A = this chain, B = another copy of it.
Amino acid sequence: MSDARYDFASDNTAPAAPEAMQALLAANQGFTSGYGTDHVTARAADLVRALLDADAEVRFVASGTAANAISLAALCRPFEAVLAHEHAHVCTDETGAPGYFGQGLGLIGLPGASGRIDPPALEAALAQPDVSYRQSPAALSLTNATEYGTVYSAGALTALTRAAKAKGYGVHLDGARLANAAAAGFDLTAIKNLGVDILVVGGTKAGMPPTEAVVIFDRALARRFDARLKQAGQLPSKGRFYAAPFIGMLEDGAFVRHAAHANAMARRLAELTPFKVRHAVEANGLFVEMDEPALKRLHAAGWFAYRFLDGTVRFMCSWATTPETVEALGETLARIA
């Protein structure tokens, strides 16, 4: 709590979008059955399938950390490991949740520029021999859009997933910012052909109240998934509250439309910043090189922003970011540079 402005601190500092809230209110009528067996959940799941043009199981959960961790625990046994970008959210920002939900499953961090896994690094990791004293990989975790605001193409993803599938490993796609990737041109209907076993479609960062959709492409994984969720504290009785926002955002296209706005705001901010931009601005984040005194001046000016893992300072835009705020921040950046 402070008087600082959190507009650009993350894409989860924004309120929820009106489309999501209206759907929430609309769903809050009458009595329904619980635990995701209600008609609101069924409708939302249909819309997620339509978004992806895929026949898959869909569940709605409360948090992205839980969605990712549960997915990885479904793909990987405790004595195995997940391959992920070394700066992926599952590796760096979830307090070891994959290992908690997965009873100690390992995470093997892979390098790669701008948040994208370097294909040769993946190949090298996959080529490691199985030995009993190490956790050998059983799954690959990808993120699109990446932590650094870049976007994998379907082709780039395929190159990675194909290598993992050739070893018989599972694939998880963290889509906390899938809407932003879609707005940047990533074809969501291509995911079903990429070899992804479990996809998390981010609701929160896309402008919804807390909710994430877990999409299970591999039906064998879906067996007893509700029990898995319930045990993990992620099968809410009032399931409609997690499903409804997706209805509001998907029915009229707000999901991608809002993300396109967020992406545009990031691009505009990139035009305004006098600081060197480190990563291509393909989604809704801007990462600039800024020394500590400048960051202090920024904070002193009332804007909160994080220094990120690669040393850059990160600015995130959301559906709620206004052009006026972007201009205002741009002016501040010009002044403190």
Q: Which of the segments A99-107, A152-160, A287-295 contacts the partner chain? A: A99-107
Count, chain A residues at interface, CB 8 A: 85
A28 contacts across to B, CB distance below 8 A: 15-16, 21, 209
Known: A2-B33, A6-B31, A103-B103. A97 touches B226 (CB 8 A): no
Chain B residues with Cβ below 8 Å from A70 are 233
B5, B101, B106: which contacts A31 (Cβ < 8 A)?
B5
**Chain B residue contacts of A210, Cβ below 8 A:** 62, 236-238, 241-242
- Residue in B closest to A210 when the chains form the complex, CB atoms: B236
Stretch at the interface among A129-137, A190-198, A260-268, A273-281: A129-137
- A189 in contact (CB, < 8 A): no
Copy number in this complex? 4
Within 8 A of B (CB), among A79-106: 79-81, 92-106
Residues from chain B with Cβ under 8 Å of A304 in the complex? 33
Residues facing B in A31-49 (CB within 8 A) are 31-35, 37-39, 42
CA distance A236 to B65 in the complex (A): 9
How far is the CB of A83 from the nearest CB of chain B, in Å?
14
Q: Are A96 and B104 in contact (CB under 8 A)?
A: yes
Inter-chain CA distance A95–B133, complex, in Å, is 5
Question: Mask for A12-39, Cβ within 8 A of B = 1, else 0?
Answer: 1111100001001100111111110111
Residues of B within 8 A of A37 (CB): 1
Interface residues of A in 169-228 (CB under 8 A from B): 204, 209-210, 224, 226-228
Q: Min CB distance, A43 to chain B, in Å?
A: 10
Is A38 a contact of B1 with CB atoms below 8 Å?
yes
Cα distance A62–B235 in the bound complex, in angstroms:
10
Tell me if A1 and B42 are in contact (CB < 8 A): yes
Contacts of A143 in B (CB 8 A): none
Known: A32-B6, A33-B2. A133 touches B209 (CB 8 A): no
Out of B14, B61, B135, B231, which one reaches A78, CB within 8 Å? Answer: B231
Binary B-proximity of A49-63 (CB < 8 A = 1, otherwise 0):
000000000000111
What is the bound-complex CA distance between A4 and B237, given in angstroms? 17
In whole angstroms, what is the CA distance A37 to B235 when docked?
25
Interface pair B227/A130, CB less than 8 Å apart? yes
Is A77 part of the contact surface with B, judged by Cβ < 8 Å? yes
Measured between beta carbons, the chain B residues less than 8 angstroms from A61 are 233
- B1 and A227 contact, CB distance less than 8 A: no
Q: Which one, B4, B15, B96, B238, contacts A30 given CB within 8 A?
A: B15
Q: Does A114 contact B (CB under 8 A)?
A: no
Q: Apart from A61-B233, A62-B233, A97-B232, what 4 extra A-B contacts exist at CB < 8 Å?
A: A12-B237, A21-B25, A80-B227, A97-B233
Of the A-B pairs whose beta carbons lie under 8 Å apart in the complex, a sample of 17, sorted by A's number, is: A1-B39, A6-B32, A13-B34, A28-B209, A35-B132, A62-B62, A62-B210, A63-B233, A78-B96, A78-B99, A78-B228, A78-B231, A81-B96, A95-B227, A99-B105, A101-B233, A104-B231
Nearest 8 A/B pairs, CB to CB:
A66-B233, A99-B104, A132-B226, A12-B237, A62-B62, A100-B104, A95-B231, A79-B231
